[in-house]
C-alpha cells in the first residue's frame, strides 16, 4: 500500500509540475474565451438575446453546433450519440422494461464516447504538431545562426514567434563585390500562411541578389514573386539594404516596414526610410533607394512591428516612442539588444504573445 501511495504522489507531482495560480486563472478567463470564439465563429451570426436564460440557450446551441461541425462526419455522429446518452442519463425515465439498462450506464457510455473523441482529436493534434515542428526546423535553417564576419561591425539578433511557424524574416550575407546584404521583413499575419510567404520572399531575395545586387532591383523581384504566387493577403513589409563595410555607406529600400533607427555616437537617434506600400499588393510599386552613412560608434536597429505592437495588460501598445528611449543610453550591440527585449517583456508582463518579433542590432566600432 505504501508503494502505491508513493507512485500516486509522484504522478500527482509530475502532473502538477510548473502549474501556478495565474496559469489556472488564465485557463478559465482568457483561454476559455478564446476557445469559445474559435469554436463558435462560424455560427454566431445572430445577435444574442437580451435575457440571461435566452442568452444561455443561444450560447449552448452555437457551442454544440460549433463543436459538432468542427468534427469529421463519423466523429460528429459519435458526438451526437454521446450527447443523447448524456441527456437521457439526466432525465428520470421509466426504463424498467429493459432491466439490464441502468441510468448510470448511459452516463458512463456518454463519458467513454467523449473520451474516445478526445483521444482521436488529440492524436490528430500530435501529428500536426510534429509536422509543424519539422516545418519550424526548416524555417530556422532559412534564418542566420551566426553573425557575419565583417571587420569593425558587430551583430546581435533574435527571433520570437507567436505560433510554431512565424512570418518574420532577417538575413545578412556577403555579396561577391565585398558588400553585405542586410534584410529584415515581416509577412502579413503569423502562423503557417505567414511562414509560406516568408519562404517565398527568401527565395526571391536570393535570386534577386544573384541577378542584380541593387536594393531597388531586388525589392522589385520580391514584389513580383509575391504578386504572382500569393493571394490578396500574401503581402509583406521589407527593409532591403546593401552595406559597404569600409565606408559605412548603406543603400536601402524600406517598403512598408517600420523605419529602422540609427543611433549616432553622440546619442542622436534618426529614423531611416519614408512611406511606401508593402510588397505583394500590386506590381507597379514606386520604389526609391536611400542612403545613410554609418560612422564609427553608430548603432543601427532593425525590427518588426511585433516590438512596437506588444500589448500591456491594460491593452496599451509598447509604441514607437518607447523604442528610442531604450537606445538612449547606448552600449554594445548585445547590451542594446538585450535592453530592448527586456523592456518589451517587462511591458508585456503575462500577456500572450500576439505577433512575431524580430530584432537586429548592428554596431560599428
Mean pLDDT per 10-residue segment, the chain (365 residues): 63 57 65 75 76 83 80 82 76 52 68 80 76 73 87 94 85 93 89 84 92 94 88 84 96 94 94 86 88 95 93 90 90 93 92 88 95
Contact 317, 311 (CB under 8 A): yes
What pLDDT does residue 100 have? 46
Distance CA 298, CA 345 (A): 25
Query: 206-212 long-range contacts, Cβ below 8 Å, gap at least 24?
Result: 209/173, 209/175, 209/181
Distance CA 146, CA 155 (A): 9
- Bridge partners (DSSP) of residue 269 are 263
Phi, psi of 3 (to 5 degrees): -65, -35
Distance CA 281, CA 231 (A): 9
Distance CA 197, CA 153 (A): 30
Distance CA 266, CA 63 (A): 60
137, 143, 148, 152: CA torsion to nearest 10: -130
Cell reading at 20 = 501556478
DSSP annotation string for 33-64: HHHHHHHHTTT--SPPPSSHHHHHHHHHHHHH
The reported pTM is: 0.74
**Residue recorded with cell 446551441:** 61
Amino acid at each position: 500500500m505504501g508503494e502505491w501511495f508513493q507512485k500516486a504522489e509522484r504522478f500527482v507531482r509530475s502532473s502538477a509540475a510548473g502549474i501556478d495560480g495565474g496559469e489556472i486563472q488564465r485557463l478559465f478567463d482568457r483561454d476559455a474565451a478564446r476557445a469559445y470564439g474559435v469554436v463558435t465563429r462560424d455560427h454566431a451570426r445572430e445577435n444574442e438575446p437580451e435575457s440571461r436564460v435566452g442568452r444561455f440557450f443561444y450560447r449552448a446551441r452555437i457551442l454544440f453546433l460549433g463543436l459538432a461541425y468542427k468534427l469529421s462526419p463519423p466523429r460528429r455522429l459519435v458526438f451526437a450519440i454521446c450527447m443523447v446518452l448524456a441527456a437521457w442519463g439526466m432525465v428520470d425515465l421509466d426504463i424498467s422494461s429493459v432491466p439490464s439498462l441502468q441510468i448510470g450506464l448511459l452516463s458512463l457510455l456518454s463519458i467513454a464516447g467523449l473520451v474516445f473523441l478526445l483521444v482521436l482529436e488529440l492524436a490528430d493534434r500530435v501529428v500536426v504538431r510534429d509536422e509543424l515542428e519539422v516545418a519550424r526546423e526548416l524555417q530556422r535553417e532559412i534564418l542566420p545562426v551566426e553573425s557575419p564576419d565583417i571587420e569593425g561591425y558587430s551583430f546581435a539578433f533574435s527571433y520570437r514567434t507567436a505560433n510554431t511557424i512565424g512570418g518574420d524574416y532577417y538575413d545578412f550575407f556577403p555579396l561577391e563585390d565585398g558588400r553585405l546584404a542586410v534584410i529584415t521583413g515581416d509577412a502579413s499575419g503569423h502562423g503557417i500562411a505567414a511562414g509560406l510567404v516568408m519562404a517565398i520572399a527568401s527565395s526571391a531575395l536570393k535570386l534577386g541578389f544573384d541577378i542584380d545586387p541593387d536594393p531597388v532591383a531586388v525589392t522589385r523581384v520580391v514584389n513580383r514573386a509575391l504578386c504572382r504566387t500569393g493571394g490578396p493577403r500574401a503581402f509583406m513589409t521589407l527593409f532591403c539594404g546593401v552595406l559597404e563595410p569600409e565606408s559605412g555607406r548603406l543603400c536601402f529600400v524600406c517598403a512598408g516596414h517600420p523605419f529602422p533607427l540609427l543611433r549616432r555616437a553622440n546619442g542622436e537617434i534618426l529614423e531611416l526610410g519614408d512611406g511606401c506600400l508593402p510588397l505583394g499588393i500590386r506590381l507597379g510599386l514606386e520604389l526609391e533607394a536611400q542612403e545613410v552613412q554609418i560612422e564609427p560608434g553608430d548603432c543601427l536597429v532593425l525590427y518588426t512591428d511585433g516590438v512596437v505592437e506588444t500589448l500591456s495588460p491594460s491593452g496599451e501598445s509598447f509604441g514607437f516612442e518607447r523604442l528610442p528611449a531604450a537606445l538612449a543610453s547606448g552600449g554594445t550591440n548585445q547590451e542594446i539588444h538585450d535592453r530592448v527585449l527586456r523592456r518589451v517583456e517587462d511591458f508585456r508582463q503575462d500577456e500572450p504573445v500576439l505577433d512575431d518579433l524580430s530584432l537586429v542590432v548592428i554596431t560599428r566600432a
